[in-house]
Structure 1
């Protein structure tokens, strides 16, 4: 019989201590929640800051690309005008050569 009493007492001690530990965990949880919420808030603010930096850098890259596109268009227009002036000059010299050849053929006939 004393063994059973000892077992019962030990069982009661275990139950009481386990409930005491659970209560401590429950009491400490609200204390950690504000800390966790602050941590989550700080993390979200950091993420927001990082996102803003990424957006700003992307906007700068877009502006650089737009400037490059403008300069390439200007270069293309210059190339077109050079080609047109060169081709016009070449066509006129070819026309003159053809006329001279025709005149020579006429004179030879």
Structure 2
């Protein structure tokens, strides 16, 4: 009769030991799966960072191009103003000369 409880206890111990091995294996598998997921996430985050950096560099390049265009347009505007001022000055001096000539003619008459 004593052998029966001993066999039951032995079977129970074996069952506990084997179940712990299975749990440990499951834990290892879960840890490996979670580490592969975290590696994928970190890889995705790295790719996102690379894409963000490329976008930023592209935007900086566009900003530099726009700044150079603005400078070019400002120079053109200054040239146009100078031409316009020169033309106005010439027109004013021509008008002044014409007026003086007309006055002289009126005074001579």
Normalising TM by the smaller chain, what interval? 0.7 to 0.9
Q: Does 1:37 align with 2:31?
A: yes
Q: Give secondary structure in 2 for the equivalent of 1:107.
A: helix
How far residue 31 of structure 1 moved from its aligned partner, in angstroms, is 2.0
**Partner Cα separation in structure 2 for residue 63 and residue 76 of structure 1:** 20
RMSD of equivalent CA atoms: 2.3
Q: Deviations for 1:47-105, whole angstroms, at most 9, x for unmatched residues?
A: 00000100011111111111111111111111111111111011100111011112222
TM-score by length of 1: 0.73
Number of aligned residue pairs: give it. Answer: 90
The 5-angstrom pairing of residues 35-74 of structure 1 reads 35-74=29-68
Q: Which runs of 5+ in 2 are unaligned?
A: 1-11, 104-109
Q: Which runs of 5+ in 1 are unaligned?
A: 1-18
**Partner Cα separation in structure 2 for residue 29 and residue 102 of structure 1:** 106
Q: Give secondary structure in 2 for the equivalent of 1:61.
A: helix
TM-score by length of 2: 0.73
User: Which position in structure 1 is the counterpart of 2:101?
Assistant: 107
